[in-house]
Amino acid sequence: MLKIGVTGAYGLVGWHARCRLFAEPGVEAIPAGREAFRDDAGLDVFVWRCDAILHFAGMNRGEDAEIERVNVGLAEALVAAMERTGRSPHLVFSSSTHIDRDTAYGRSKRAAAEIFARWADNRGGRFTNLVLPHVFGEQGRPFYNSVVSTFCYQLAKGERPRIDHDGQLELLHAQEVAELALTAIREGTRGAIRPSGRPIRVSAMLERAAHLAGCYSGGVIPELEDRFDLRLFNTYRSYLFPDFYPRRLEHPVDHAAVTNPPGADLGAR
């Protein structure tokens, strides 16, 4: 049994990773929330149990100083636990394309990756750095994880989303991140991986989400031939629970067909 720890297990990517690992034969997911980092003993127990760790815990919104303190501190704490226990699990880290920018979040992700890379070099460990674009998906926290989460939540609640900045997005679903992480562990991948997402402007994403929401609220399942549309639709639907359900489905009736069913005039022939 391959035991894979997931930090940030109850966040967006962590939740999807646990779902993916649950469906994988021969794999046990070991979740770690905030409580795992509260003391050294608890973190040591978590690390000791793991053959691999998906480090998805982190902070992406807040005061600049706090973002840097939290994200760098989590990396330092995890490395310290691996040093204390003498364990060298394959470490997969969810970084961000923000590392190319001079922001608190970008700096903190860059610093955390450097901490993990030094540990891997010193201990001969395996470290995979997932440099991710904008991640979205079901269970995302509105007004925190992504603009997709925010707009889908607002549409589900009957609110009108407002675009403050019509920027360019590159969207990657959280299940794709989970699959990348599992594949990296299976294949022993080292170094950086930069997956591509779906390029789309904020306004275009909102237009598509609003169309999907409009169809569904009117009792129609929209066409979902595009995998991106399917994932956007499911993200929207995740915010409909529990208020929207159960729904009574109306059976459409063709009154003309009922009045004059096929073959009704056969007796006259």
Is residue 110 classed as helix, strand or coil in its secondary structure? helix
Which stretches does DSSP call E strand in the chain?
A: 2-7, 27-32, 52-55, 90-96, 127-132, 134-136, 168-173, 191-193, 198-201
Region of 182 (left: φ > 0; alpha: ψ -120 to 50; beta: rest) is alpha
**In this structure, are residues 92 and 55 in contact, taking their beta carbons and an 8 Å threshold?**
yes
pLDDT score for 268: 44
The predicted model scores a pTM of 0.88
Which stretches does DSSP call E strand in 58-205?
A: 90-96, 127-132, 134-136, 168-173, 191-193, 198-201
What is the mean pLDDT of each successive set of 10 residues along the chain, which is 269 residues long? 97 96 96 94 97 96 95 98 97 96 95 98 96 96 93 96 95 98 97 97 98 93 95 96 74 60 51
CATH fold of 2-238, please?
Answer: Rossmann fold (3.40.50)
Q: What is the dihedral of CA 197, 202, 141, 10, to 10 degrees?
A: 0
What residue segments make up the domains of the chain, in order of their start?
A: 2-238
pLDDT score for 269: 40
How many residues in the chain?
A: 269
**In this structure, are residues 106 and 71 in contact, taking their beta carbons and an 8 Å threshold?**
no
Site of tokens 């501190």? 73
**In this structure, are residues 29 and 4 in contact, taking their beta carbons and an 8 Å threshold?**
yes
